[in-house]
Structure formats: C-alpha cells, structure tokens
Amino acid sequence: MNEQIRTMEPKALWNHFADLNAVPRPSKKEQRVIAFVKAFGEGLQLPTSVDEVGNVIIKKPATAGMEDRQTIVLQSHLDMVHQKNSDTNFDFDTQGIDMFVEGDWVHARGTTLGADNGIGVASIMSLLSSTDIPHPAIEALFTIDEETGMTGALSLKGGLLSGKTLLNLDTEADNELTIGCAGGIDVTATGSYKHQAPAGNSAFTIAVKGLTGGHSGADIHLGRGNANKLMNRILLALTKEHSIEIASVNGGSLRNAIPRESVSVIVASASAVSDVQTTVAALTSLIRVEHKTTDPNLSITIETATMPAQVMDVAFQGQLLRALYCCPNGIYRMCPDIAGLVQSSNNLARVLVADGAYNIQCLTRSSVDSEKYDLRDAIGSAFELMGAELAYSGIYPGWEPRPDAPIVQLMTHLYTEMFGGDAHVNAVHAGLECGILGTNYPGMQMISFGPNITGAHSPDERAQISSVQKFWSYLLETLKRIPVGS
C-alpha cells in the first residue's frame, strides 16, 4: 500500500479509503467489510445496525445550528468488482488492494481499484467521523452486493430510514448529476452435452486477451470488443473451414464487466495444423483492424497444448457456436427521447463449456421494462433452440427521472455557482440502486453524483485526485444548503 495516498487531501477521505481497501470485499462475500463498517460506527458511538441481509445503517445527529434541516440519507455500496490482469498474482479473498499514485490519478497494481464505490463509502465515513463539518441529520446507508444483483437494495425494508432525500455517491463523472438509470435482469443458460474422444491428433490453445473491457452499462456504447463474441467468431470459422473439435471454452468473468479474455482448447488433424494456424492469423489481422481504436492491446494467440481426453459432440458443438453467434450483444436500442442514451443492451458476459456441462451468463439492461423483457426473450430463444435450461434472476427496476425534484434543482444551481458552467443532468444506462430503494421508500427524492473514475470494472480503474477534491467540496456545500424541513 502506497503511504503517499494517506497524505493527500482531503486526508480523512483518503485515509478511510485506504482502510477500506485493506479489507477484502468481493460481491457475495462482504462479511468482513460489513463487520468493518459496523465496528466503525460503534467506535464512534453512533446508532449502528445491520439488517438481515447485511446492509449497514449508521445514524448521526445534525451539528449545532442545523437541527431543523431535513434529514439526508447518504448511500453507497460496500462491495467491489474483482478483476485482475491474467499475469497478476493476486488473491481478492485475502489481500487488500495495492494502490499507487501516478500524476493526478490513483491506480491499483494489476487489479480493480475499488473506487467504485469505495470513494463514496469513504466520503460518508469521513462525514460520520468528522467533528467540524456542518451537516443536517445523516442516515448513512451502506448496501451490499450492488455489483452482482443489487440484493442489498432489493432486500432493504421500509421503515428503517426517515430521510426523504437520498444522495447516492456512485456516479463516475464529476460534472454529471444522475437522476435516472436502467433496470436489469440476469439471463443464464445451462445444460449438459455429450462428449467423445478426439478424432484429431494435434491440440491447441487459442487465447483472446488484452481487450479494454469496462463497465457493461456505462461503457456499452463505446463499441469495445467482447472476448466471448470474438472467440466464438474464430471457433465457428475454424469448424467451417477445417472441421476442428472443441474441448473447452472459458471466457469472461462477471456479468457487469465487458469480457476481456477468453481461452479455448481445440483439436485438429495433423494435416490441418498449418491451415488452422493460417486461418487464426488471418482472422487476427482482420479483428485487430476492426478494433484498433477501441482495443489497441488486443492479442489473439494459438499455441500447442496437451491433448484433451474429451471433445464436444459434433452436433452440440455446432448448436453452441450458432446460438452464441445469434445471442445479441451490445446496444439493442438507443433511447428515442434522450439523445445519446442507450435504452437497451445485453452483455454476453460469461461462457464456460467443459467436461460435459455449459454455463452461459448475460446481463440485460433497459430503461423500459417491456423492452427489457423483449430482449430477454430474444436471448432466451437463441439458447432454447439448443435445448438449454433458462433461468432469469437479479431483476431490478429502473429509476424514473424527476428533473423537477427540489434536490435536483438545488444541486444544479449550486454546481453553476461553485464551478461555473452547467452540470450535465442525465439518466444513465448503468444500474444504480436508487430505483430499487424507491420501491420501499416511495416519494423519496434522489440524486447520484461522484468524482471522475475511469475504467471501472477493469484493472484499468483509476480515480482522479483533483476530481475527488472537487466532489468533496461539492458534497460539503450541498449539505450546508439543505433546507429546513421534517
């Protein structure tokens, strides 16, 4: 851990972020970070509770002179996306994030940084531990499992919070005020298949690596390569031209991350070895040209491998490759009412096929519920044709924008006053917890904002130091301006 981070301003925020990043906190495995935040609240002698799923709520009374202001809910999520480069030796279950500073940016060494949403969590911790920052009564809500299903927000019961205004600190551009987002649904196709001994006598490993990846909502409009789709393209071409046999495919990792890597093992006859290598080389040249702007570090390699004991049945192999080819990926429809906003999309996130079983995972998003289900059915149809079992889970609603909400008006005018120019008030294609929280807290006005964070959900994630300072000053001034109310 680079101690330089602890000396940066605002010191309280960066120190809390460093402490938080020392605690392993993958989605679905938040026990340690829940205990960490619970102990933090109790150590401050503030009312602290943990609900039945693990969401932590810490309440702090208003500072002197602000007792008559509206109570504010400050909300961020505790979990983080765990992604690392293939050549990085790192165990997310046991190690804290190794950070370093380069210019105006904080990075992690070969892994995700956890600024999404660790900067938000650290900001709230800084307010809770402060003794000299003016603020109204605060209800700090730390949710779990935002990145892989939003089950914390989905399970939060009504009646635990009294505040009628919620500040979500999970936006990744410091000139944006987010007031709406897409909903989502997880689509999973599973099944088994027949396998057989290989007929060929030469085995190869094909690897697609070095793609840019990124957030499957916030970055889906950028046209970045999907390793699962590229691998499938290569494999289908090889089966058509050289009758190769496929032993396994392992691509992608998390639903909300655009897949950066995929590895497959194939078998070919000795007489076709040269032709297989030539075909892969030709496809590599084409694909690299197609993705030279979005994925300049893309690499596709083919190397000799140990002969596998089993390969896929030929009939299943053909069905699998064609179903994956048909599966929609990327933008499905743009919003006709808001310029530049993706309305619906799908991320073909995970393809794991080996040892007679397959598991294919997608994350489907839309700001229009009916279209979300239409896209779900389009994806499901492709895999039903190959006999897959389909499961739909992790369903969460979108967040309908309320541009006339008082908190939106307050923060819009305050941004111009503090920084000159206008904030970009928008809706986003990424999933935020606000829409879900609104189901049990109807009428609560909400807004999301944060500092500049780039490369979220990938090892390229970084947080801008000067932007964190801007965000922090904006947050503090917003709290000062909260109006009188119940």
Active site residues per annotation: 79, 146
Torsion of CA 333, 337, 340, 343, to 10 degrees: -30
56-60 and 138-143 strand pairing: antiparallel
Count helices and strands in the chain by DSSP H and E runs: 11, 23
Give 331's strand partners: 345
Closest by CA to 115, choosing from 169, 62, 168, 41, is 169
Closest by CA to 128, choosing from 62, 205, 214, is 62
- Long-range (24+ apart) CB contacts under 8 A made by 473-476 are 473/418, 474/174, 474/414, 474/415, 474/418, 474/419, 474/449, 475/123, 475/167, 475/169, 475/449, 476/133
CB atoms < 10 A from the CB of 335, how many?
17
322 neighbors 222 (Cβ within 8 angstroms): no
77 neighbors 143 (Cβ within 8 angstroms): yes
CA dist 143 and 126 (Å) reads 17
